[in-house]
Structure 1
Amino acid sequence: MDLSEVIDENIIDLDVKGTTKDEVLRELSQRLYDNGYISDVERFVKDIYVRESMGITGAGNHIAIPHGKSSVVNKITIAVGRSDHMVEWESYDEQPVNLFFLFCVSDDEGFAQNHMRLLAELAGKIGKDSLAEELQNAKTPAEVVKILTA
């Protein structure tokens, strides 16, 4: 499984409205629910916070990679969000974020390997400053998909 198999234009929001971490997580989770990826927003958000309590998900470069590992996941994906404003987030570089990659994975142990593979692939891509800049400047969800799957 790789990024090209899980990135969906329908769950890419380049106009995230949330101004707090909680609002952003709920907004992206609602998009996942609306597109059939999860069956329960509240439970999914609760499970995100379980993972958030284990460590920092702000990766630096204004990027956050929260993880929703939950039994309410119907299909593995990564919701992508970007806001035109910065959101306070625990981050390795202590900077706020405006680009969000919300992992949506089953808590079934069989999916753990896929989760780690996807995380490694995404981290490798967004670790490049030029690609992070391309994502910050992308105009459409289709452009985001192209950048992430090239």
Structure 2
Amino acid sequence: MDIKSVLDDRVIDLEMKAENKEEAITYLAEKLKSAGYIADVEEYVADIYLRESQGQTGIGNYVAIPHGKSDSVTQVGIAIGKLDHEIEWETLDGKGVKLIFLFAVGKDNENARTHLKLLAEVARTLGNDEAVQALLEAKTVEDLKAVF
């Protein structure tokens, strides 16, 4: 499984509206639920915040990759939200966040392996400043997918 195979237009919003981290995570979780990736928004969001409490997921360069294992996940996926402004988030570089990759991952071993593979692939792409800039400038889902 590679990143392109899990990018789903139904859970990508390049004009996301959110004023803070909580709104962003909840909004993306609701997209995951409506697309059938998770069964319960509250349980899933609680699991995301449990992981957030263990270490920051803002990796810098205006990007965050919140994730956490949850029994609520029915299918591995990644919701992506892009904002036109920074929101406050705990990040490695102290900047806010404009681009969020919210991973939906179950708790079993197979899901864990898939999650690590996808996380590594996303991290590799996000380690490239030009790729991040292209993601931040993406106007369409096709623009976003082309970066990967």
User: TM-score surpassing 0.5?
Assistant: yes
1:47 aligns with 47
**Secondary structure of the structure 2 residue equivalent to 1:78:** strand
Give the alignment's TM-score, normalised by structure 1: 0.95
Give the alignment's TM-score, normalised by structure 2: 0.96
Structure 1, gaps ≥5 residues long: none
1:60 aligns with 60
Q: Deviations over 1:15-69 (max 9, x none)?
A: 1111111000000001101111111111110010011011010000000000032
Aligned-residue RMSD, C-alpha: 0.9
1:147 aligns with 147
**Secondary structure of the structure 1 residue equivalent to 2:130:** helix
Identity of aligned residues (%): 45
2:17 aligns with 17
**Secondary structure of the structure 2 residue equivalent to 1:80:** strand
2:110 aligns with 110
Greater CA deviation, 4-13 or 58-67?
Answer: 4-13
Separation of aligned partners in 2, 1:94 and 1:38: 31
Separation of aligned partners in 2, 1:120 and 1:69: 16
What is the number of residues matched between the two proteins?
A: 148
Separation of aligned partners in 2, 1:71 and 1:10: 22
1:132 aligns with 132
Structure 2, gaps ≥5 residues long: none
**Secondary structure of the structure 1 residue equivalent to 2:82:** strand
Match for 2:42: what amino acid?
E
Match for 2:78: what amino acid?
I
